[in-house]
Amino acid sequence: MRAVVVWMVGVLVLLAQPLPPQLAGTIDKKGIVLVDFFASWCHSCRKELPILLDFVKRHPDISLVAVDVDENKEAGEAFVEELGLKSVVLYDTKQEIIKAFDPAGIPALYIFKDGKLVGSIIGARENIQAHILKAIQ
């Protein structure tokens, strides 16, 4: 495992912990990978995740790794089923994955390009698609 240090928008960003093993082979590959932290109880996540799913569907060169942080896995699974989520879903009931990123809140989206963190969006945003496209250019 390795810690990730990147220069992003003039700010040095250091993930709080080494990359969790659950993410091995997902964010460190070529291309664009979005890592989205969400929970079934998060009202903003319920609005934003379907928008992300539509965005990824329209951009097949972008992958989504969805990380459910519900402490109750069944609640997360029900939410994933409700959305019809077909992306990779990791269930982080013990908060091990999110601890490495340590966001100020959720939803929390991390944007990786060719294995490097190029952007993050913490909290719900209007027109999140434009923020993602800006980060990957």
Q: Which CATH class is domain 5-136?
A: alpha beta
* pLDDT greater at residue 25 or residue 9: 25
- With 60 as the cut, is the pLDDT of residue 105 above it? yes
Note the pTM of the prediction, 2 decimals.
Answer: 0.84
pLDDT cut 90: percent of the chain above it: 60
What integer pLDDT is reported at residue 17 of this predicted model?
Answer: 55
What integer pLDDT is reported at residue 16 of this predicted model?
Answer: 53
Tally of CB atoms within 10 A around 34: 25
pLDDT tens for each residue of 30-42: 889 999 999 999 9
* Residue 62 pLDDT class (50, 70, 90 cuts): very high
Residue 82's alpha-carbon distances to 32, 40, 70, 86, 102, in angstroms, are 26, 10, 15, 11, 27
* Residue 114 pLDDT class (50, 70, 90 cuts): confident
* Residue 5 pLDDT class (50, 70, 90 cuts): very low
What integer pLDDT is reported at residue 29 of this predicted model?
Answer: 74
H or E element in which residue 113 lies: strand 108-113
Amino acid at residue number 118: V
Per-position b or e across 70-93, b if 16+ CB within 10 A of its CB? beeeeebeebbeebebebebbbbe
